[in-house]
Amino acid sequence: MEERHKNIKPIYDLVVKKVFCNEAVALQFVQDIFDLSAKSAKLIGGDKIFRANSNVEDDFNIAVDILVELDNHAQVIIEVQLAKQAFFMNRIWAYLCKQVNDNIERLKQNEEERHAIYKKLPPVYVAAIVDRNYFEGDDPISTFLIKEETRNTELKMYVDNDIKEMPLLKIVFLELKKYKPELKESYNKVRWLEFFGNKKYTSEPGEVIDQADDLLNVRNWTKEEKDMYDERTRQLDHQWATYAYAREEGIEYGMQRGMEQGIQQGMQRGMEQGIQQGMQQGMEQGMEQGIQQGMERGKIGTIVNLVKEGIIAKEVGAEKLNITEKEFESYLQEM
């Protein structure tokens, strides 16, 4: 399906931060995805964008992508992932627990009575926008709650003087790769799959989504924002350096496989033509084939990974391999 924006990926971290810095957009997203009747929202975390050469250690940095607070005191963490991570659920749990703990510490400093801390402790929810599938099934939107095992009763909580109960915990996953134009979900939810998935809208998205799309127009960005995006783009050079390394690894792998295959072929032929002559011929042919196959698989695998991570477009990957996009699709499915 044709992309709305050719030169911008809406799911890139710094682009997502810019989108949700618009509090009207953040509020609409939370209302649509979590079915919350909030009237206003404010960004209280995630407005800082780290440069590629910063000293932040990504593996140990638990600063959330986006943190929004609603007028009903509920807080929503919005986390985005391009590549699939084996421990992504653990990271979400760490983000959520840390935020709850931070809220407790903040209330301890402001409240004299202990019971007031629990009275004013807000619920914390998580929205995970992911470019890779994490769950079985075709549903692109998965909502998780805490419920009693046999009666299916949901745990809820009161917030301050609000008489309406709210879910104690709510985590929503948007799996962008599962999007299909014929989805039966409420379009208020589907339009966010189309927005972050860079798909053409199948219906009128609404004024707020139009505002969000305007934020993707680079011509309206500040110089600092453009510099940041350019810096992110320059990281592609590093990715291509990784490709060169993978190519060398492919050669080494091919040589090793070639020797193994050559020995096997040589031994087989040696039984028929003589062990010495067969081993020599088998090793030479096996090494040549192995080197060639290793180089080619290394090149293909690297470019496929770059496309899957959203670093380059599919058509660019196909061009690099000098094949059609349809042929490239088969590699995306295989690897």
**Predicted TM-score (pTM) above 0.85:** no
Q: Provide the percentage of residues in the chain whose pLDDT is more than 90.
A: 34
- Distant-in-sequence, close-in-space partners of 41: CB < 8 Å, separation ≥ 6: 23, 26, 27, 30, 68, 69, 70, 71
Query: Tens of pLDDT along 98-121?
Result: 999 999 999 988 877 777 888 889
pLDDT confidence of residue 143: 96
- pLDDT at position 33 over 90: yes
Distance from chain centroid for Cα 190: 18
pLDDT confidence of residue 245: 54
**Inter-residue contact 44 to 29 (CB < 8 Å):** no
The two structure tokens encoding residue 232: 């992110």
Which range is least confidently modeled, 73-87, 198-212, 235-249? Answer: 235-249
- pLDDT at position 318 over 70: yes
**Inter-residue contact 38 to 72 (CB < 8 Å):** yes
- Distant-in-sequence, close-in-space partners of 71: CB < 8 Å, separation ≥ 6: 38, 39, 40, 41
**Inter-residue contact 285 to 268 (CB < 8 Å):** no
How many other C-beta atoms lie within 10 A of the C-beta of residue 242?
13
pLDDT confidence of residue 140: 96
Cα–Cα distance for residue pair 101/117, rounded to 1 Å: 12
Name the pLDDT band for 32 (thresholds 50, 70, 90).
Answer: very high
pLDDT confidence of residue 63: 52
pLDDT confidence of residue 217: 84
Nearest to 303 by CA among 261, 260, 250: 250
How many other C-beta atoms lie within 10 A of the C-beta of residue 217?
10
Average pLDDT over residues 145-159: 93
Strand order in the sheet with 75-81: 41-45, 66-70, 75-81, 124-130, 170-175, 141-145
Place of tokens 């189309």: 194
Helix (H, G, I), strand (E, B) or coil at 86: coil
Cα–Cα distance for residue pair 92/142, rounded to 1 Å: 15
